[in-house]
Amino acid sequence: MSGAMKGEKRNWLQRFLVWREKNIKEKRFILLLSFLVGICTALAALLLKLLIHWIQNFLTENFDTTEANYLYLVYPVVGIFLTGLFVRYVVKDDISHGVTKILYAISRRQSRIKRHNTWSSILASSITIGFGGSVGAEAPIVLTGSAIGSNLGSLFKMEYRTLMLLVGCGAAGAVAGIFKAPIAGLVFTLEVLMIDLTMTSLLPLLISSVTAATLSYVVTGQEAMFQFHMDEPFELGRIPYVIMLGIFCGLVSLYFTRAMNSLEGIFGRLNTPYKKLALGGVMLSVLIFLFPPLYGEGYDTIELLLNGTSNADWDTVMNNSLFYGHGNLLLVYLMLIILFKVFASSATNGGGGCGGIFAPSLYLGCIAGFVFSHFSNEFSMTAYLPEKNFALMGMAGVMSGVMHAPLTGVFLIAELTGGYDLFLPLMIVSVSSYLTIIVFEPHSIYSMRLAKKGELLTHHKDKAVLTLMKMENVVEKDFTIVHPEMDLGEMVKAIAQSRRNVFPVTDKEGKLLGIVRLDDIRNIMFRQELYHRFTVNRFMVSPPARLYDTDSMEQVMQTFDDTKAWNLPVVDQEGIYLGFVSKSKIFNSYREVLVRFSDE
């Protein structure tokens, strides 16, 4: 019965595809798909937020705010344990690093994302964050949205370039839907996912963003995600302090990025999931017990710092903790949170949880901006700096630094809070933070893993095309192989049967020993008296360089540039000869990929 149902489904789909090709032009159909992607991603975002808040409220509604709560030691461990079980035994695939996975899919998988990613990240991250995991829900929902776009495009047999656009539409819709920020969704896709901005791509991205944000407004109301009322208008005299805040945020971003990578390396060296759970669970539960604001996404703390007006309001950030009632330690408490937030986030993901760094970036930025201004005001070091405004600007600064996306930081914070009156200082902080971190880190926390492997698609058109090219597609195997013990007479016979002027020399195991160039033996190849006197071993030479089958195309081109060679041999890690790569073959493949990659 199931086979018959699948057959009917395929027939229905094929009939629809034929009808669509006759009646709907492809450009219009792409707009329709982008609209559907916007609706689906908004629904996914709303479902994720609902699940997280329901789990959090169910677990913590009876907590006493005036004393420490020991269940903080239990909930996070239970959350990452349940998530780990779900991922290992139900999903059976790695679903961490959501945005990195999207970048990898665009660069190396022709924008095809696995079908389970349309739902697995929602369930995994809701369990992780609901039980107190110190990560954000945004990266998982961005992966979910991109998976929706990719699979919807695959269902309707769209080509690679359209699939890449639909992946971007899914990401834009996800950001717009969960934050109610349509412009930020569009800009995020252009800056972070590096989808080229053309008239062909702009309209679908806009449709997905606006559709997702509109649906979120309809369901949750028109208010911004964070309520922010600007009590102190921005003054031009504060610009130097805004620049200083941007530099501070850039340094915080650098600390967060490098500490996150180092801690991921520590967890990666643990060889069993139970060791990871033990280390991550202990680290996370202790940190949340000492610093309850690290529980979950931390949006309550952001609301508090953005809307508080006095020390009495701000001191409530220490509720539920051992610091309760010690208002004089507020700055120390917040600086410790800045220091340990990265440990809590890494412990959550490293221990088996699922979440992203969107929310931690916003959270750290808000606290960094507040600490910067409150410290200045407490010690009367400068003119008065309004804490609320600087907390808002700090959010844009750290997000811009961590994600290497200053425009996303500006528009996202403006749309999240309605703080459009602070647009100029938001831009100054974002640019200052970005310029600070790129001195030390050329790639964002999302892209650095792929950049190290040469698998990152970029806005640089040449590099992007090289990334899309694969070594196996340019290796030529029609070169005649010779062996070192063959004499010149046998070599001449091999030359007569070949159309090439280069000959690889291998041993009996197939390992490359050297090459013979036709030009090098042209002066002796017709002297028959030498046919049995000279062997290949005597006149073979070493190649200018060897390429490996694991090399990226950017590395291949760099090797060609360094050696000035026209043909280079390819070997595997054991030195076994696989074939040759020629410049002409690369140039032909480059032109073919460039035609497919470029928009008309």
pLDDT of residue 298: 85
Contact by Cβ (8 Å): 36, 152: yes
The boundaries of every CATH 1.10.3080.10 domain in the chain are 24-458
- DSSP state, residue 516: E
Mean pLDDT computed over 417-443: 90
* 98 compared with 296, residue with greater pLDDT: 296
Using CA atoms, how far apart are residues 24 and 26, in angstroms rounded to an integer?
Answer: 6
| Residue 498 near residue 528, CB atoms below 8 Å | no
Q: What type of residue sits at position 560?
A: F
Q: What tens digit of pLDDT does each residue of 514-532 get?
A: 998 888 888 888 788 777 8
Q: Are 169 and 144 in contact, with CB atoms under 8 Å apart?
A: no
CATH of the domain spanning 463-597: 3.10.580.10
pLDDT of residue 382: 67
The superfamily (CATH) of domain 24-458 is Clc chloride channel (1.10.3080.10)
pLDDT band at residue 63, thresholds of 50, 70 and 90?
Answer: low
455 pLDDT exceeds 50?
no
Strand partners of residue 356 = 136
What is residue 591's three-state secondary structure? helix
From-to residues of CATH 3.10.580.10 in the chain: 463-597
Q: Contacts for 374-382 with beta carbons within 8 Å, 24 or more apart?
A: 374/314, 374/330, 374/331, 375/331, 376/241, 378/331, 382/241
Q: How far apart are CA 200 and CA 191, in angstroms?
A: 17
First and final C-alpha spacing in the chain: 45
Tell me the per-residue pLDDT of 221-230, one tens digit each, with 9 for 90 and over.
888 888 787 7
pLDDT at 376 over 50: yes
Report the alpha-carbon distance of residue 369 to residue 393 in Å, rounded.
Answer: 7
pLDDT at 460: 44
Q: Tell me if residue 504 falls in helix, strand or coil.
A: strand
CA atoms within 13 A on the CB side of 342: 20
Bridge partners (DSSP) of residue 517 are 502
275-326 pLDDT, tens digit each: 999 999 889 888 888 888 888 888 888 988 888 777 777 788 887 667 777 7
H or E element that contains 84? helix 75-86
pLDDT of residue 551: 80
- What b/e readout covers 45-59, taking b as 16+ CB neighbours within 10 angstroms? bbbbbebbeebbeeb
Q: Express as a percent the part of the chain with pLDDT over 70.
A: 87
Residue at 333: amino acid letter: Y
- Per-range mean pLDDT, top range of 16-20, 413-417, 424-428: 424-428
Task: State yes or no: pLDDT of 7 exceeds 60.
Answer: no
